[in-house]
A and B are shown apart, each in its own frame.
Chain A
Amino acid sequence: MDAIFSNLDLYWQGFRMTLWLTLASAATALVLGTILAAFRVSPVASLRWFGTVYVELVRNTPLTIVFFFFIFVAPQVGIRTPSFFVSAWVALSIYTAAFVCEAVRSGINSVGVGQAEAARAIGLTFTQTLQLIVLPQAFRTVVPPLINIFIALTKNTSVAGGFAVTELFAIGRRLANSNPADVIPVLIGIGVCYLILTIPSGILASWVERKVVFAR
């Protein structure tokens, strides 16, 4: 246990890094995924095509390979980021956006087609219809699957630990190496830190779900 309490500052450092990586990637993936979902239901065929290719390509690639690409391959073709943190942020956002896209798209499909027809009939454009009528209703049904995706994202940030970002998992590995006798408590401590992030998101999800419920 001593290995934990004498290294609380390291835990705190890793916890903050994981938290920032999660929040930044979740926000970016939410925006990017929603735009992709709009592409996938757009009347423009080339946008639909782009959305489909993106989703199929990205969600079927292991996250580690996405990281490899942004940390090792991208700089060689001239795409550089200021830090490993930014690379990890980009990799996680791009990867998670594919899943967000599919969740949001299923939400869009759950909104009755009559809602969009009525919106178009009063002269709203495609973008306005999506923004004002369809997405606000879609997000209500999408909250549970989105929280699923964000919980998976929280845990996926641990991949960044393998790519020189000192988040929780990297700290855990370092502490386990330096305290071989206390490997189990050190890793349990890391696990608890992830729970501190994920369990509240689950609670937040059910709260949001109750708040946004409405009668159809």
Chain B
Amino acid sequence: MTASDDMTGSASVPTAEVGQPLVELRDVQKYFGSLHVLQDINMSVARGEVVVVIGPSGSGKSTLCRTINRLEPIDSGTITLDGQPLPAEGRALARLRADVGMVFQAFNLFAHKTVLQNVTLGPMKAKGVKRAAAQEEAMRLLERVGVANQANKLPAQLSGGQQQRVAIARALAMKPKVMLFDEPTSALDPEMINEVLDVMTSLAKEGMTMVVVTHEMGFARRAAHRVIFMDDGRIVEEAAPEEFFTRPKSDRAKDFLSKILTH
């Protein structure tokens, strides 16, 4: 056991020491009407760190992920990205979002644009990259996620796994500081889950800072530095994956793990 403790420890400790944390949430509260969906959230993600957020449905984990690029505004507290507090609506927010890649459960590829256009749109329109350069970079990224041969098709002509890999390429094209994954494999057929997880694992290995909301425990064990367990809008437990999965501390985490790991 000590060996794995050392491994996970050494994976997260040095990155946490790299100056300021990249993403930091302080005393974040959010309500949907009278429902308190995020309660006293305090967390930080260091540069290069991969954090997996798990928890039962309705625990607020997706909402947490979406507050980080302000797709969900918060009611109180602060969120800082690379030391900068999140701006309110407007151009400043758009600029900040350009630095945060996001991958959705439902892919959300632009339905009227080709795969290649999906990937080049952001760099060209939000960053002013020239078309030729954007296309070259897009093809490189599509190659990397293994869908370069589909570049001129419309999203609807691709399988779910291919669409999600395009969505990852689209986010990467913005050269983001951090990538958010909001249940990226939950809408996929089982045989397509791995092709997406493989891309995510290789990203993690290359040092991309990632916040991943997922039910894929295998990915959490393989790629995460830290697991955050949420329930009822609160962060209940935070630990290195090996420790969390083998020795969860809280009863709610034990209960949750017993339900998902028994079959």
Contacts and interface: CB of A to CB of B under 8 A. Distances in A.
15 contacts: A43-B89, A112-B108, A114-B106, A115-B108, A118-B104, A118-B108, A121-B97, A123-B97, A124-B121, A126-B89, A137-B111, A215-B111, A215-B154, A215-B157, A216-B156
A55 B228 CA distance: 49
Interface residues of A, number: 23
Contacts, number: 76
A123 B156 contact: no
Contacts of B125: 124, 128, 132
- The secondary-structure label for the interface of chain A is helix
A123 B95 contact: yes
- The secondary-structure label for the interface of chain B is mixed
A104 B109 CA distance: 22
A121 B157 contact: no
B69 to A, nearest CB: 6
Contacts of B87: none
Given A114-B104, A215-B154, A123 B112 contact: no
B260 interface: no
B102 A121 contact: yes
Q: Which 7 residue pairs of A and B lie closest in terms of their CB atoms, listed nearest first?
A: A123-B98, A122-B122, A123-B126, A215-B156, A118-B108, A114-B108, A121-B102
B100 interface: yes
Interface of B: 69, 71, 89-91, 94-102, 104, 106, 108-112, 121-122, 125-127, 154, 156-157, 167, 170-171, 174
A214 B97 contact: no
A116 B89 CA distance: 14
Nearest to B156: A215
B118 to A, nearest CB: 9
B94 A124 contact: yes
A133 B95 CA distance: 18
Contacts of B69: 121
Interface string A174-216: 0000000000000000000000000000000000000000111
Contacts of B90: 125
A189 to B, nearest CB: 44
A26 to B, nearest CB: 24
A122 B97 contact: yes
B121 A122 contact: yes
A112 B112 CA distance: 12
B174 A117 contact: no
A112 B156 CA distance: 14
Given A124-B125, A124-B126, A119 B110 contact: yes
Contacts of A162: none
A16 interface: no
